[in-house]
Structure 1
C-alpha cells in the first residue's frame, strides 16, 4: 500500500459537515478515526468516514492522460486541451466554452479554474454541481442578508430550545450533525425536535413532532407559522424596526395563511399544525436546519426565504442557539461559492456589477474579465445540445448521472465537439463520452482547503503519494492557462500560493462591505498554511481568530445594513401528478453511499446495508408487488428497474428512490433520467424532489445471483442487473423477462464454464443452481429461480477464499447455504461492525431489549450511531413477535 509512515490529520471527503479525520497507517493500509480536536465533529465519524481507508485502492483509477481512450503523455494531453480551447474560442468566441466544476474540488483548484474561465478566457460559463444542491440557499441568503452568509454554527445546535429539521433525512445524509442533535436532546430532554418531511425517515427517531406535509408545500407551512407569530404577538417589533426592511409587506402576505388554509394546503391535520405552532411560539432559541428537500425545488429560493422570514420576524438570529441553518451536501460546496464557482458569481463573493468587474480585473491584472453571468448547469448542458457551447471541461463530477433529464445530457455531450474530463476514475457514465481524460489526484493524495456548512475552513492534507501520472487539478489548469498565453497569472508553484492570493482578494477593497473576508490568512507561510487549524470566516483584522456566528450586532450586508424580509407566495411543484403518472417521486441519499458511488462503491462494507437500487412505496400504491420483486418506475422522461420496497410508513401517493446508482453499478437505475429539467427561476436549481411517476410490478421470468472470481467480469446481458461490491468477488443480482432454454449453455456462452468442473442442481421448472471450480478453487456460483433466490451471500463469498471442501459442504453451497453448524446471516444493519438482523433478533430474544443492551453484547450502534433508529425498530418488531407467541 502506498502510504506515509505517520498519522495525518485531514478533512473528510464526503458531506458538508466537514469532519476532521485522523488517518493512521497500518501494515495493510490506513484506518480512519475522528479527529478529537476538530470543531465540526469532536472525534465522531459516520460509517462512510470510518470506511475511508477502504476506498484508497487504485482499482478503476485513471492513471494516465488519454485522448479518445488511448494513453498519451501529459505534454500531448495539455497541448490538445489548450489547442482545442484556443481553436474553439477563435472560431466561436469565449462564450462557446464552458467549465463545470464540483464540490469535490479543493478551494485552491476551484480558484484557479474560475480565474482562468472568468478572468482570462472572459466567459461567465463556469458553474458547478453545487447548483444542484445549494444554489437556492445562496440566493435566499443574498436576498435576505445581502450576502451568501450562513449565520449559524454547530454549537448553536447544542444550545437551541427547538431544532426544526426540514427537507433533510439528517440521520442518513449528515449523520454526525444528527448525532450531535440527538446527544443534545439526551442531555436536555426538554429540547424539542420537529421533523418536517413527507417521509417517515430515520431522522424521525428523535422527533417530538413529525409533520408529513404534502410534497412541495413547505413555503406555505412557514408562511403559516409566520402568521401564527403575528396572531400571538410573538413578533420582535424592535428588531424589525431597527434591523430590517420589508416586514409590513411580508406579514401582510402571510395573513392569508390561516391555520385552516395552511393545514389544507400542506395536507396536515389542524391538531398537528397547532402543535407545531405551539412549540415554536414558546421557545426562546430556535434553529431551522434545512437542506435538499427545501433547495431542490422550482420555488426553492422562496422556501428558503420563508424560513429566514420566520427567524428575522422573531429576532431569533445572530445569537446563541438561533438561526436559519443551511447544511450543505458536499465537502467543499461553500469553498466553491467563495471563489465564484457558480455562474452568477465572479470571485470572493463579488458579482458582475461594473465596479466588481473592474476591481477583480485590476487585482488579477486582466482586461478580459467576464462582464455578465454565464449559464447555470441546466442551461449550460442545453446550450451544448443546441450547439452554442462547443467545448466543455468537466472537473470531478458526473453530470450524466446527476443532472436532470440525464439521458438528454448524455446525448448532448456525445454531440459536443470537445469534452474534457478531469477525474480520478477511468470509467464513469461521463468519461464514456469524453474526448480527453485527465488523471487528477484524489482525496488523500492532494493538499488544499475546504469550507464546511458553518463557514469553517479546514485543511485536506495528503498522506498518499501521487499514483501513476495523476496531478493536482490546480496544476493541470495552470498548465493549460500557460499554454493559452497567461503564464504570469498562473505561475503557481504550491497550493499555498493560490490560497494566499484568494485570501488577499477576499479583503481587497472590502472595507467590511463583503461578508467573505479571510484577509487575515493572506500572509501565511507555506508551513503555516500546512499546519493551519480549522477556522471560521470572516478572518480579518477585526476577527483574527475567526467568527463563530454572524449578525450578532444586527448589521447585515445590504447597503443600508438592514436585512430584508421577502413577501412569499407559495407555489406547488411545476409538475403535478396526473392520471397516467399518479405518484410523486422523491429522491435522496441512503445511509452508506455517496453521490454516484465512485468512492463508496469500492467498499464492500458500505454495500452491505443497502446493496441495490430500490423504490420505497406504500403497499396500497402497488398491491401486486412484494418485497424483493422488480418494479418498473416510469415518468414522461424515462423508466427504471428497481427493487420493490413496500413500507407502510411511506405516505400514500409518494415514492422514494435513491440518487446514487448509475450505469457502472446497475443496468437501468439512473434516477435523474426520470426527472424534468425544471428549475427555480432565481437560483437555476432543479426540482429533483417532486416528479410524477407511475410504478408497476415488472414481470420477471426469473431472478438470480451470480458470484465470480474474475474481478473484471462484466454482467450478463439481462434486463436487470446490479453489481454489489464484495471482497475478492464480483457479484451481480440479475433478472430477465425471458428464461434461457438451457441454463448451462446460457452460462457457458457468457463465462466459458466448460473449461471448469461444475456441479448443478435443477430446482423444478424454474430453478437452476451451478458451482464451477478449477484446481479446487471456486470460480463461479450461480443461483436462479422464478422468484428471487436468497443465497447466504457470506457463505458463498467465503467459499471463494477457501476450498468448498467435501461433498456435504459443496452440496450445502450449491443450495446457497452455509455448511452444517454454521449460522446463516441476515441483512446487515450495523455496517461499522457488520452485525446482521438475525444476530440482532437472537440477542433480543436473549434479553437485550434496548439499544444500549444490544451495543453491550454486539457493539452495534456504539460507533457512528447511524443504525440506532433501525435497531429500535428491530427491537420493537422482535418484542411484538415474542408477545404474539406468548399470547398463543
Structure 2
C-alpha cells in the first residue's frame, strides 16, 4: 500500500517541497507539494523525475577499503572502516599537525550533516581546513552581502518576484537554472503586463525571451555596466538622496569613481547601445519597486564580489531595499548552500555567521562547544586546498557528497592532487562519481528520500526533510557517519573526556545549531522540527518567542553593520583574467542545461533527462561556424591554456561572434579526457576565493578522425556505460549518454584516426551482447566497416556501427519508435549504403514531462496552433512548464516561416 511523505527536492536552491509516494521500501512517484510556499506544487523537469533517478546499480552499498595505492578496494565493515580512518587521521595529525588534514563538503548536505562535520573539524581536529563546493557557487554573493549590508542575509522573499514592478536578471539563465521561480515570474508578468523585465546576459537565453529589454553584454563586463547605470542615475537625479544620507556611507567615493563611466564608454566596454543603457537606468530610477536576481554569471568570476557589490549599489542609491518587490536577491545554486553558510561549514565562516578571524567569535563557539579554543590559522578554500594537496601539505582528505574530479576548474591539477594524496576518504551515495576511483576508503551514504534533517533555500526558508524509504545496503546518513568517526577519533585525540558528539538523532544536532545562532542576524533559536511540521517551512530570523518567520529584511532601514548603515562598494571594473588574443581567439562561457544537474551523478542515471540535450556540444554563432568552414556535428579540437577536448560543434544564434558555450555537466565519465573543466581556469576572486569558472579563452580547430563507432544497448546501463568508456579510451573522441524512457539504453559515440584492433571490437561487442544470439552482421575488413544489429521481438535492443556513421540517426529513430521492417536487413547487408530512411533523425524531445518531440510541435504549429493550442492538443507546457520558452520560440519561428512563404 502506497504512502505519502513530505520532503524537499535535492537539486537547486529554490527548495521545492515534494510529496514522495512510496511503499515503505521503494519510491514510486514524486509530485510537487501544493502547501510548500516555495513552489506551491510546481516542479521542474528534474524534480518531477526524481523517482526515476538514483539507479540502484549506481549506488554505493558497503564500505570499501584499499590498503595500498596499487591495490583495488575490497568490501569491509563499518567498524573496520571507521577505525582505520580514525587511525590514519590521528597519525597524520600527530606527525604533521591538525592543518595537515582537510575536509571538502557539499551544498547538497543537510544542515545537520554540515554541523556535525564542522564541529568535528574545528572543535575536535582543530583546523579551519573545511570548505565546500558552495565555494564554487555562492561565495561571492556571501562576501558581497557582508561587505555592503553587514551580513550574509538575502533580504528578499520569492513573493517579491510577483510584487515587483521592475525585475533585473543578471548573470542567470533562470529559465534553466531555477525553472520553478521563472514560472512564477512568467505568471506574474502575464497577470501584470506593465511589469518590466530586464535581462543581462552575453547569450540570448530562454530567460531573455521573456525580457522587455535584453542587454547582450560582453562576458565579464557587469561591473562596468552597473557603474554606467549609476552614472546615469546620478546625472538624471534618479536617486534617493534622503536614504543615502541617512542609511548609507561611502557614497562620495563611489560617486567619484562612476563619474568616469560615461554611457559612451560603458556602451563600448559592454558592447551594447548607449540608448539601451539609458532605458534601463530610467526604468530602475523611476519604478516604484526594483528587484534584482543573479546567480553564477556574477559569482563565478575573479571579481565576483565587485560585481555583486556594484549591483547592490544600485539598490542603495535608489533606496530600493527592505520593501515589497525590491532588493538584491541572490539565487542559490544548491539545495542547502545556505545551510552550510548558517552552520559556518566553510573555511571563511564560523557557526551563526561568525568570523574565524574574530577572536571573540572563536571564543563564543569554543565556550558553547566546551572546548578550550578554536583554531586561529586561516583555513584553505577549495582551489588552494587542492593545490596544497598536490604540493604534499595535506596528508589526509575527507570528501563528502561532492565530486571535485568533475566540478572544480583546471581538472588536470585536481586529478594530480587526488592521485598524490596519501589517504583519501570519499563519503558518497554513488559509485559512478569521477572522484570515487581515488578513494582509499569509500563510505556509502544515504541519499535523497532516505534521511532526515533540514535545508534552507534562497529566501532563508527552512524546511524539514523527512525520510521516506530506508537507504540501500549499509548506506548511512551523512551526519551519522561523521558522528561515528568523530567518536572514534575522540578516543585517540582527547581520551577520557566527555564526548562532543552525544547525538543520537538528527534533531538533536539541529537544536544545537539553532541555539548557536541565538542573538545573531540569522537567529533561528525558536525553531525545531515540531514547529516546522506544524507551521510549515519558516524563514529566518525566527528567534525564541516568534510566531512566524521573517519575510523581508531591513524594513526598518537598519543594516547588520556596526553603525547600522549600509556601505557602498567602490571597485573599478576589471576585465576577465583571460582575454581573447591571436592564439586563443574565442571567449568560452559555461552554464547549465535545463534537464541536467551538476556532474550528473544523479540525473545521469535517468535516460529521459538526456532527451533534450544528448551530449556535450560546443555552441558557436552560425557566422562563426561559416567563417571557420565548420558544419553542424563536425568534430573539433577545443583547446585552452590548460587542456583540450574533442567535441562536436553546432550553430547557436543565441551567441555573438567570437563567443562559445559549453554545458558544465559533462565529466570524464561521459567524455574523453577529464571533461569540460579540463578547459577552465582556477584564478579566483581575492575576497570570496570563488573561481572564474564562467569564462576562459579557447581556440577551435577542425580534426580529422575518419574511423567512427556508434553503439547502443538496452539494460544494465551503469555497468555497460563504465565498461564501454574503458574500452573506448584509446579513441580520440568518446561521448556516452543514455536514451529512451521506459527501458533506458546506453549510447556511445567514438572516433579515431584508425580502426582499433579486432580484440577491442570483440570486447565492445561482448559488452553490447552482440557476441551471441540472433545478431545480424556485416563486415568489410578492407574498409574497416562492421555492422551489428540485435533484434528481440522485432525491436532493436543493441547495435554497433564501426567505420561508418551515415545510418546513426536513422537507427536511433528506429530504436526509439520500437519498429523495424525489411529495409533494415537490406541496408545492413549492403556496403556503405545510405540508410533507407534518408535524412530521418530522432526528433529532440522538447517536453520531457509528457514526451512531446519537436516534430510533433512543429506539425501542430504548421496547422495553426498557438501556445494554448499546443498545451491543449499535445499537453506540452502543462506540467513543469520548463519547455514553455522553447515552445514560444518554435511558434515564432513557425510564424516567421509561414509569413516568408506567403510573401
TM-score by length of 2: 0.92
- Which segment drifts farther, 540-549 or 187-196? 540-549
Residue in structure 1 matched with residue 799 of structure 2 by the alignment: 781
Distance 1:45 1:638 in 2: 38
- Which segment drifts farther, 367-376 or 84-93? 367-376
Distance 1:738 1:351 in 2: 56
1:722 to 735, 746, 759: 735
- 1:807 positional shift: 4.6
Distance 2:828 2:453 in 1: 50
Residue in structure 2 matched with residue 519 of structure 1 by the alignment: 525
Residue in structure 1 matched with residue 860 of structure 2 by the alignment: 843
Q: Kindly indicate whether residue 705 of structure 2 is the aligned counterpart of residue 686 of structure 1.
A: no
CA distance 1:817–1:358, change in 2 (3 Å): farther
Question: Match of 1:428, SS?
Answer: coil
CA distance 1:240–1:830, change in 2 (3 Å): same
Q: Which string of whole-angstrom CA distances, capped at 9 and with x for unpartnered residues, describes residues 60-97 of structure 1?
A: 10000011221100000000111111001000000001
Distance 1:766 1:646 in 2: 31
User: C-alpha root-mean-square deviation of aligned residues, in Å?
Assistant: 2.5
- 1:747 positional shift: 3.5
- Which segment drifts farther, 659-668 or 137-146? 659-668
Question: Match of 2:500, SS?
Answer: helix
- 1:776 positional shift: 8.1
Residue in structure 2 matched with residue 873 of structure 1 by the alignment: 889
Distance 2:560 2:836 in 1: 69
Residue in structure 1 matched with residue 70 of structure 2 by the alignment: none
1:50 to 48, 51, 56: 48
Residue in structure 2 matched with residue 232 of structure 1 by the alignment: 236
CA distance 1:771–1:95, change in 2 (3 Å): same
Residue in structure 2 matched with residue 638 of structure 1 by the alignment: 643
Residue in structure 2 matched with residue 364 of structure 1 by the alignment: 369
Question: Match of 1:585, SS?
Answer: strand
- 1:502 positional shift: 0.5
CA distance 1:788–1:347, change in 2 (3 Å): farther
User: For residues 48-447 of structure 1, what are the structure 2 equivalents within 5 Å?
Assistant: 48-68=46-66, 69-352=73-356, 353-447=358-452
- Which segment drifts farther, 712-721 or 382-391? 712-721
Q: Kindly indicate whether residue 748 of structure 2 is the aligned counterpart of residue 748 of structure 1.
A: no
- 1:389 positional shift: 0.9
Residue in structure 2 matched with residue 769 of structure 1 by the alignment: 787
- 1:843 positional shift: 1.2
Question: Match of 1:77, SS?
Answer: helix
Residue in structure 1 matched with residue 480 of structure 2 by the alignment: 475
- 1:669 positional shift: 6.2
CA contact (8 A) 1:100 1:129 kept: yes
1:488 to 496, 499, 508: 499
Residue in structure 1 matched with residue 37 of structure 2 by the alignment: 39
Distance 1:531 1:71 in 2: 43
CA contact (8 A) 2:8 2:18 kept: yes
Q: Which string of whole-angstrom CA distances, capped at 9 and with x for unpartnered residues, describes residues 776-833 of structure 1?
A: 885531235256831252532565xxxx78756755899999999xx97511111111
User: For residues 500-579 of structure 1, what are the structure 2 equivalents within 5 Å?
Assistant: 500-507=511-518, 510=519, 514-521=520-527, 524=528, 533-541=536-544, 543-579=546-582
Residue in structure 2 matched with residue 7 of structure 1 by the alignment: 4
Distance 2:400 2:288 in 1: 45
CA contact (8 A) 1:343 1:375 kept: yes
Distance 2:373 2:536 in 1: 36
- 1:620 positional shift: 3.0
CA contact (8 A) 1:625 1:696 kept: no
Distance 2:532 2:369 in 1: 22
CA contact (8 A) 2:239 2:285 kept: no
Q: Which string of whole-angstrom CA distances, capped at 9 and with x for unpartnered residues, describes residues 507-556 of structure 1?
A: 0xx3xxx31110112xx4x6556656200000014743110010000111
Distance 1:229 1:528 in 2: 45
CA contact (8 A) 1:254 1:568 kept: no
Distance 1:875 1:545 in 2: 45
- 1:765 positional shift: 6.1
- 1:358 positional shift: 0.8
Question: Match of 2:6, SS?
Answer: strand
CA distance 1:388–1:212, change in 2 (3 Å): same
- 1:662 positional shift: 1.1
Question: Match of 2:57, SS?
Answer: coil
Distance 2:535 2:87 in 1: 38
Q: Kindly indicate whether residue 706 of structure 2 is the aligned counterpart of residue 701 of structure 1.
A: yes
Q: Structure 2: give runs of 5+ residues left out of the alignment.
A: 67-72
Instruction: Say how many residue pairs are matched.
Output: 868
- 1:643 positional shift: 2.3
Residue in structure 1 matched with residue 810 of structure 2 by the alignment: 791
Distance 1:47 1:814 in 2: 41
Q: Structure 1: give runs of 5+ residues left out of the alignment.
A: none
Residue in structure 1 matched with residue 749 of structure 2 by the alignment: 734
Distance 1:813 1:278 in 2: 65
Q: Which string of whole-angstrom CA distances, capped at 9 and with x for unpartnered residues, describes residues 298-332 of structure 1?
A: 11001100011110111100000000000010000
CA distance 1:814–1:835, change in 2 (3 Å): farther
CA contact (8 A) 2:199 2:213 kept: yes
2:678 to 673, 676, 683: 673
Question: Match of 1:51, SS?
Answer: helix
Q: Which string of whole-angstrom CA distances, capped at 9 and with x for unpartnered residues, describes residues 367-425 of structure 1?
A: 14122430110001111011111111001000111111111111111010111110001
CA contact (8 A) 1:123 1:374 kept: yes
CA distance 1:782–1:885, change in 2 (3 Å): farther
TM-score by length of 1: 0.94
Distance 1:770 1:210 in 2: 50
Question: Match of 2:341, SS?
Answer: helix
- 1:642 positional shift: 2.0
CA distance 1:747–1:385, change in 2 (3 Å): closer
- Which segment drifts farther, 776-785 or 659-668? 776-785
2:871 to 849, 855, 865: 855
CA contact (8 A) 1:702 1:786 kept: no
Residue in structure 2 matched with residue 587 of structure 1 by the alignment: 590
- 1:699 positional shift: 1.9
CA contact (8 A) 1:703 1:788 kept: no
CA distance 1:807–1:651, change in 2 (3 Å): closer
CA distance 1:208–1:765, change in 2 (3 Å): farther
Distance 1:473 1:745 in 2: 43
Distance 2:756 2:565 in 1: 75
CA contact (8 A) 2:624 2:658 kept: yes
- 1:873 positional shift: 2.1
Distance 2:461 2:580 in 1: 41
1:831 to 842, 848, 854: 848
- 1:883 positional shift: 4.1
2:463 to 455, 458, 463: 458
Distance 1:293 1:221 in 2: 14
Distance 2:7 2:474 in 1: 23
CA distance 1:872–1:361, change in 2 (3 Å): same
CA distance 1:178–1:777, change in 2 (3 Å): closer
Question: Match of 1:783, SS?
Answer: strand
CA distance 1:810–1:35, change in 2 (3 Å): farther
- 1:345 positional shift: 0.8
Residue in structure 1 matched with residue 69 of structure 2 by the alignment: none
Distance 1:291 1:67 in 2: 39
CA distance 1:86–1:236, change in 2 (3 Å): same
